[in-house]
Amino acid sequence: MARSIEKSCRGIPVSPGFAQGAAQVYRQYAPAPEERVLEPAQVADELKRFRQALHAAERELHTLYTQVKRDLGPDFADFIEVQLTLIRDEEVIKNTEAFIREALRNAEFSYAQTVKSMSEPVARSADPLFKERMLDIADVSNRVMRHLLGDDTRSLLEVAPGTVVVAHDLPPSEAALLDPRRIVGLVLEAGGKTSHTAIMAKAKEIPAVAGTGPLCENVADGQKVFVDGYRGLAILNPSANRLRAYDDEIERRRVYRESLSALTTSDPVTADGRTIDLSANIEFIAEARAAKRYGARGVGLFRTEYMYLAKRRPPTEEEQFLVYTEVAKMFKPYPVIIRTFDLGGDKVLAGYTEANPFLGLRAIRLTLGRLDLFGDQLRAILRASAFGNVKVMFPMVSTIEELRRAKLEVERAKGALKARGVEFDPDFEVGLMVETPSAAIMADRLAKECSFLSIGSNDLTQYTLAVDRGNEHVAKLFDHLHPAVLYLIKRTIDAAHQQGIWVGMCGEFASDLLGMLVLLGMGVDEMSVSPGMIPEAKGIIRNIDTGVAAEVVTHALKLGTALEVKNLLRREMDRKFPHLAGFQFEENKGK
Ligand code: PEP
Ligand code: MG
């Protein structure tokens, strides 16, 4: 491929923003240690060399751990802590030393053999958590090997400012090193929205595109790359025309964002005086801080399963308690709604397979089968409720029995805490996510048995339209403005209100300008959006009269297709709320 011709590669937008920089292709380190036979007299030196390499690698990891913990929070640093535990693994050390001594082989060969033989059962294990560990094992052993072989230990921490990292994927320790002051963009051949690298990029606000397919081979270090993290495009050798067009858009967005900054401190009150609880969706403490800066009034969805994914193991009650309490204190008196682990579906641990994961052992189904883990989490959440306005909600409920069983576990957790003499909020509220058609249809009956409902439109759309939310082949069919989805949202909101409880929306529907118009017209009480969208959402709320929006919704609900709904909403918005034309939510397609 001629290096100077523009080439546009389409992937999945995983972290919004634009970036232009010089490519640095990240290649996975693949050491090939030679086998050397030692004289018995050389053994002592070889053992020393091994220990030195181990200590150097451990020191590096420790520095990294401290840095990530300081910059991004303790929950993020878990990605590194896992590796610190592995590098200190006494068995690996003991077996490597025995190999050097008994097989009379050099340190790098002995270490490679030991790691290989000890990780084989892990690789074969049916436990998905173990399989994920293989990534860490490879990452840690490569670090030690670099020291043993004296290879260049340059990491992503040392790249030049203005770099766009192009990689197949990044190992966890490298992903944690992404420094936004140096790395302006990220392009990944693999992965999707929920890969650990994508999560890190989003939390650090580095524009990123994932899932481009084979690309690294076509990119040279230093080559110019433009990353469009809104549309999911990586453009190699962008033409002058292309860059001019982007310059215009970047400037428009800059002016736009500046105009929004004044809204950060404004109240989310509609034009006719209704206050909407505008909160944020978060995964990590770093995002909670950003949400607070952007003016969120609480957390509407805390996706706790990332804690699980970061640790590669179930977090303990104590570990969870510390994280939940920090966020609860940060937002007090505003609510922090903690969603119990939503594992399964697209958040599977590497190597775990299920024929239809989204229809399988996911979310509340998985948790109800692991009451030990569920109990730990519920006790941690309840304990945190003594320090702020904490609530819990359950994902993917599809039957009333699931809600009842989950509530029983909440009571059991309360009993255990009482027995321990530990405090929790006596008015602790339990809610549920409406993400399945059955929950929406049964919303009136479910609403009788809980304190609030929060609609997860991403899954509700997926399950209502039978469209896998992560499958690019059917992506065109995924549309949360489909009349069937609107009908279920309306039914849920009405049911909650008839039962006298509040109802919110935490799916991407609430981050879509047209979706917001619909929600305000349907009388939703709360909306939860990603932290960066808070100021924009406030601006929109402040410009909409809910009575007028309700009339628009009445018409929309009579239509037959998503396109008709969209056209009507756009037309009516232009007519009735012309001042909203400047808002730019168009990139949210509701996936
Ligand atoms: C949803 O499904 O809309 C939702 C908010 O949950 P998640 O995106 O985490 O599945
Ligand atoms: Mg969901």
Q: Tell me whether residue 214 is exposed, middle or buried, using C-beta atoms within 10 angstroms of its C-beta: 0 to 12, 13 to 18, 19 or more.
A: exposed
Distance CA 533, CA 421 (A): 41
DSSP alpha helices (H): ranges in 218-316? 240-261, 285-293, 305-311
Indicate which atom in ligand 1 lies nearest the CA of residue 506: 5
Indicate which atom in ligand 1 lies nearest the CA of residue 435: 2
pLDDT for position 125: 64
Task: Kindly list the averaged pLDDT for each block of 10 residues, start to end, along the chain of length 591.
Answer: 77 90 88 92 96 94 88 82 89 94 96 88 62 74 91 73 92 77 92 73 88 88 95 94 91 84 91 97 90 96 88 90 97 98 76 79 93 97 98 98 98 98 98 98 98 96 91 82 98 98 96 94 96 90 96 97 96 88 53 37
pLDDT for position 591: 37
**Ligand closest in space to the Cα of 506:** 1
Strand ranges, E, within 168-270: 183-188, 208-210, 224-228, 233-236
Q: Tell me whether residue 91 is exposed, middle or buried, using C-beta atoms within 10 angstroms of its C-beta: 0 to 12, 13 to 18, 19 or more.
A: exposed
pLDDT for position 351: 55
Indicate which atom in ligand 1 lies nearest the CA of residue 301: 5
Distance CA 568, CA 560 (A): 12
Distance CA 320, CA 385 (A): 12
**∠405-408-412 over CA atoms, to 5°?**
140
Q: Using H for helix, E for strand and C for coil, what is the string for 360-386?
A: CCCCHHHHHCCHHHHHHHHHHHHHHHH
Longest dimension (CA), the chain: 89
Distance 459 CA to ligand 1 centre (A): 6
The length of the chain, given as a count of residues: 591
Helix (H, G, I), strand (E, B) or coil at 139: helix
User: What is the separation of C-alpha 213 from the centre of its chain, rounded to a whole number of angstroms?
Assistant: 21
State whether the beta carbon of 504 lies less than 6 angstroms from ligand 1: no
Distance 22 CA to ligand 2 centre (A): 37
pLDDT for position 127: 58
Position 209, amino acid: V
Tokens 């009034």 locate to 297
Alpha-carbon distance values, 575 to 72, 401, 439, 542, 570 (Å): 44, 46, 35, 17, 9
- Which residues are catalytically annotated? 196, 506
Alpha-carbon distance values, 358 to 197, 344, 435, 456, 463 (Å): 22, 7, 12, 14, 9
Neighbours of ion ligand 2 (CB under 5 A): 435, 456, 459
Distance CA 8, CA 5 (A): 10
Token pair of 586 as six digits: 């168009």
Indicate which atom in ligand 1 lies nearest the CA of residue 528: 5
Query: Using CA of residue 291, residue 295, residue 301, residue 304, what is the dihedral sign?
Result: positive
Helix (H, G, I), strand (E, B) or coil at 430: strand
Strands 526-529 and 502-505: parallel
Long-range contacts of 415-420 (CB under 8 A, 24+ apart): 416/375, 416/379, 417/379, 417/382, 417/383
Distance CA 217, CA 199 (A): 25
Distance 396 CA to ligand 2 centre (A): 7
φ, ψ (nearest 5 deg) of residue 373: -70, -40
Helix (H, G, I), strand (E, B) or coil at 303: strand
Distance 363 CA to ligand 2 centre (A): 9
> 452: which strand partners?
431, 502
Please say whether the beta carbons of 526 and 277 come within 8 A.
yes
Helix (H, G, I), strand (E, B) or coil at 282: strand
Tokens 């937002």 locate to 331
Q: What is the CA radius of gyration of the chain?
A: 26
pLDDT for position 348: 65
State whether the beta carbon of 456 lies less than 6 angstroms from ligand 1: yes
> 20: which strand partners?
226
Query: Using CA of residue 182, residue 170, residue 191, residue 396, what is the dihedral sign?
Result: negative
The reported pTM is: 0.82
State whether the beta carbon of 303 lies less than 6 angstroms from ligand 1: yes
Token pair of 506 as six digits: 């935490």
**Ligand closest in space to the Cα of 458:** 1
Alpha-carbon distance values, 156 to 64, 77, 164, 170, 180 (Å): 12, 17, 11, 10, 11
Tokens 């050491």 locate to 31
Position 265, amino acid: T
> 526: which strand partners?
277, 504
Token pair of 97 as six digits: 């030393």
Q: Using H for helix, E for strand and C for coil, what is the string for 247-264?
A: HHHHHHHHHHHHHHHHHH
pLDDT for position 3: 53
> Ligand 1, atom 9: nearest CA belongs to which residue?
303
State whether the beta carbon of 479 lies less than 6 angstroms from ligand 1: no
Distance CA 165, CA 6 (A): 18
Distance CA 118, CA 319 (A): 28
List domains and CATH numbers for the chain.
7-27+159-256 (3.50.30.10), 40-150 (1.10.274.10), 270-588 (3.20.20.60)
Q: Nearest to residue 262, comparing CAs of 294, 296, 298, 297? A: 294
pLDDT for position 350: 54
Distance CA 131, CA 121 (A): 10
Distance 441 CA to ligand 2 centre (A): 17
pLDDT for position 6: 92
**Ligand closest in space to the Cα of 590:** 1
